[in-house]
């Protein structure tokens, strides 16, 4: 990845430390207007989000590509998944953000298998009918209770939330395919982001596993299943991506570039670069610059 995807509590607001904070509801228009109708790629580590699009249009932006939003629809985003949005100025809908650990309490009494979709990323078009109407009404009641904040609001919001989970699970259905699968993909995205932050330090696969709270074997298994490479190969791909960029677009010496990406020995860097690209750093720089001039 060429840049680091920011991790926010709630669009940069640090509300999770408040003892009474477990859910936040607002209109999509209110939130997106302050960002000029475009919310860049980011992730939440502790929050689950549901966006209900009632009118208007837009795109959900994910690491794997963009998905058009055609109302009425709901976007379900588990913790750890990179996402962003672009909305039309006439957007009408709600965004519900809640602590994932609180969500698990609301979902624990759901029928077996019904709650499993919560760990995957979905954009779901709502089928016309009484179920979709009930789901919309329940989301609106959830939003109203959040705004009123009466003495019994938490209990009512819990009840409304459980209804939303059950009804949305019914809308998604057993045959719907998630945009991204289970939490393995989310962990891969977090790892890629970490590598983007620390690749110049030449951290080992073991070090990244420790940061993620996983064993090196488990992390390697996740990366192989989701990306088809080892953690070490993922790290080296990011290192070489930066090396290629610097060789073509900077005037720094090969020795300097090697040092910038964590190699103390320029000759060793050159051997690694040639092994993976088939060209020496010097030849790569010459040929790629010539190719760009010829375009």
**Domains of the chain by residue range:** 23-172, 183-294
pLDDT of residue 64: 65
Distance CA 235, CA 233 (A): 5
Q: How many CA atoms lie less than 13 Å away from 37 in the CB half-sphere?
A: 10
CATH class as words, domain 23-172 = mainly beta
Nearest to 56 by CA among 23, 94, 83: 94
Nearest to 72 by CA among 103, 30, 28: 28
Residue 154 pLDDT more than 80?
A: yes
- Compute CA distances 107 → 122, 160, 163, 175, 186, whole Å: 17, 12, 10, 20, 20
When the pLDDT of each residue in the chain is averaged and rounded to a whole number, the result is 83
Phi-psi region of 14 (alpha: psi -120 to 50; beta: other; left: phi over 0): beta
- Compute CA distances 232 → 87, 199, 205, 206, 209, whole Å: 38, 11, 6, 10, 11
203-218 confidence digits (pLDDT tens): 999 999 888 888 899 8
Q: What is the widest separation between alpha-carbon atoms in the chain?
A: 71
Residue 26 pLDDT more than 90?
A: yes
Distance CA 45, CA 54 (A): 27
CATH class as words, domain 183-294 = mainly alpha
**What single-letter DSSP state applies at residue 7?**
B
Distance CA 192, CA 179 (A): 19
Distance CA 291, CA 295 (A): 6
Supply 51's token pair: 């966006």
How much of the chain, in percent, has pLDDT values that exceed 70? 83
- Compute CA distances 247 → 112, 242, 269, 271, whole Å: 55, 9, 13, 15
pLDDT of residue 160: 94
Evaluate whether 216 touches 234 at the Cβ level (below 8 Å).
no
Nearest to 147 by CA among 251, 48, 23, 272: 23
Residue 187 pLDDT more than 80?
A: no
Sheet holding 83-87, edge to edge: 38-42, 83-87, 58-62, 65-69
Reported as a pLDDT band with limits 50, 70 and 90, residue 190 is confident
277-290 confidence digits (pLDDT tens): 999 999 999 999 99
Distance CA 138, CA 283 (A): 63
Evaluate whether 223 touches 191 at the Cβ level (below 8 Å).
yes
Distance CA 28, CA 15 (A): 19
Number of Cβ within 10 Å of residue 270's Cβ equals: 17
Distance CA 72, CA 28 (A): 14
Residue 110 pLDDT more than 50?
A: no
Distance CA 270, CA 272 (A): 5
225-282 confidence digits (pLDDT tens): 877 889 999 999 999 999 999 999 999 999 999 999 999 899 999 999 999 999 999 9
């Amino acid at each position: 990845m060429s840049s680091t995807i920011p991790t926010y509590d709630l669009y940069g607001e640090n509300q999770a430390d408040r003892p009474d904070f477990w859910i936040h509801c607002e209109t999509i228009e209110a939130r997106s207007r302050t960002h000029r109708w475009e919310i860049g790629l980011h992730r939440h580590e502790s929050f689950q989000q549901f966006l209900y699009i009632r009118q208007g249009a837009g795109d959900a932006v994910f690491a794997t590509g963009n998905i058009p939003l055609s109302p009425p629809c709901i976007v379900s985003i588990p913790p750890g998944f990179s996402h962003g949005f672009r909305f039309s100025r006439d957007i009408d809908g709600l965004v519900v953000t809640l602590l994932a650990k609180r969500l698990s309490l609301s979902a624990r009494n759901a029928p077996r298998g019904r709650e499993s979709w919560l760990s995957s990323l979905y954009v779901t078009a709502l089928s016309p009918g009484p179920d979709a109407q009930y789901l919309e009404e329940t989301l609106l009641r959830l939003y109203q209770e959040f705004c009123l904040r009466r003495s019994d609001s938490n209990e009512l919001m819990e009840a409304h939330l459980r209804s939303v989970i059950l009804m949305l699970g019914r809308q998604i259905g057993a045959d719907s395919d998630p945009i991204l699968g289970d939490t393995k993909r989310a962990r891969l995205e977090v790892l890629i982001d970490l590598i983007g932050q620390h690749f110049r330090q030449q951290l080992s696969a073991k070090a990244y596993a420790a940061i993620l709270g996983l064993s090196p074997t488990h992390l390697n298994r996740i990366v192989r299943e989701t990306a088809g490479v080892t953690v070490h190969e993922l790290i080296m791909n990011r290192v070489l991506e930066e090396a290629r960029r610097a060789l073509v677009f900077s005037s720094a010496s090969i020795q300097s570039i090697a040092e910038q990406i964590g190699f103390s020995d320029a000759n060793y860097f050159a051997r690694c670069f040639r092994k993976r690209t088939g060209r020496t750093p010097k030849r790569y720089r010459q040929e790629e610059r010539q190719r760009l001039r010829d375009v």
